Amino acid sequence: MSRQAERSESTRAALIAAARELFAERGYAAVGTPEIVERAGSSRGAMYHQFKDKKDLFRAVYEQVQQEILQEVADTMAAEPPTDAMAVLEAGLHNFLLSCVDTERVRISLIDAPSVLGWQEWRAVDEKYGLGLVVAGLHNGIQSGVLRPDLDIRPLALMILATLGEAAMFIANADDPEAARAQTEPVVLALVNGLRTQPA
């Protein structure tokens, strides 16, 4: 990477980090671009060279958060015995729901993102990062004979992803998010367990 490209990447990373802190602290609407630029130690010109506008910068922040959640869920699933397909799937679901009580992630991903990006784009990003992992978990379950083989994986994965989205919103908007997570997790696991070839 050339020195100029390194500087550009460093500037972009600093802007995303500064914006993420501020959006998490006060929410998208309460944060102005001059404040982001100042915290990043950058300039308005540099910001608009990297991002079209504040919404474009928010999208980059949101995608970063989604990438982190995806990596954590994937690591959790990989830590389970590969021969136990249900344990792998349930570990991923558990880890995802735990992320829904993280105040920074909740503010960015569940409170601001749907309104800032619009429902369609919000769902598209959600699918971009989450769908593949859900498909992999279901495929593993079907291949191992634990899950029913007669259901098409893609529509099933989309239904599970939508269920997780609703569960996340329920947790995020609850007065006590941890209590809501504890209520929600058994319900989500029960739905997935209903897909077993021999329901538990």
Q: With contact defined as beta carbons under 8 Å apart, do 185 and 115 qualify? A: no
Look at the pTM and tell me if it is higher than 0.85. Answer: yes
Q: Which residues of the chain have pLDDT under 70?
A: 1, 199-200
H helices of 100-152, in order, are 103-105, 113-117, 119-143
Would you kindly state where each structural domain of the chain is located, as residue ranges? 1-51, 58-193
CATH of 58-193, one of 3.30.410, 1.20.120, 1.10.357, 1.10.287: 1.10.357
- Distance CA(65)–CA(116), nearest Å, equals 15
Residue 143 exposure: Cα atoms within 13 Å on the Cβ side: 10
- The string of pLDDT tens digits covering residues 58-84 is 999 999 999 999 999 999 999 998 889
Q: What is the per-residue pLDDT for 73?
A: 93
Q: Letter for the amino acid at 87?
A: A
Residue 167 exposure: Cα atoms within 13 Å on the Cβ side: 26
Q: What is the per-residue pLDDT for 182?
A: 96
Domain 1-51 sits in CATH at 1.10.10
Backbone angles phi, psi at 196, to 5 degrees: -65, 150
Q: What is the DSSP letter of 35?
A: H
Q: What is the per-residue pLDDT for 199?
A: 58
- The string of pLDDT tens digits covering residues 116-140 is 999 889 888 888 888 888 998 999 9
Please list the residues that pair with 196 across neighbouring strands: 147
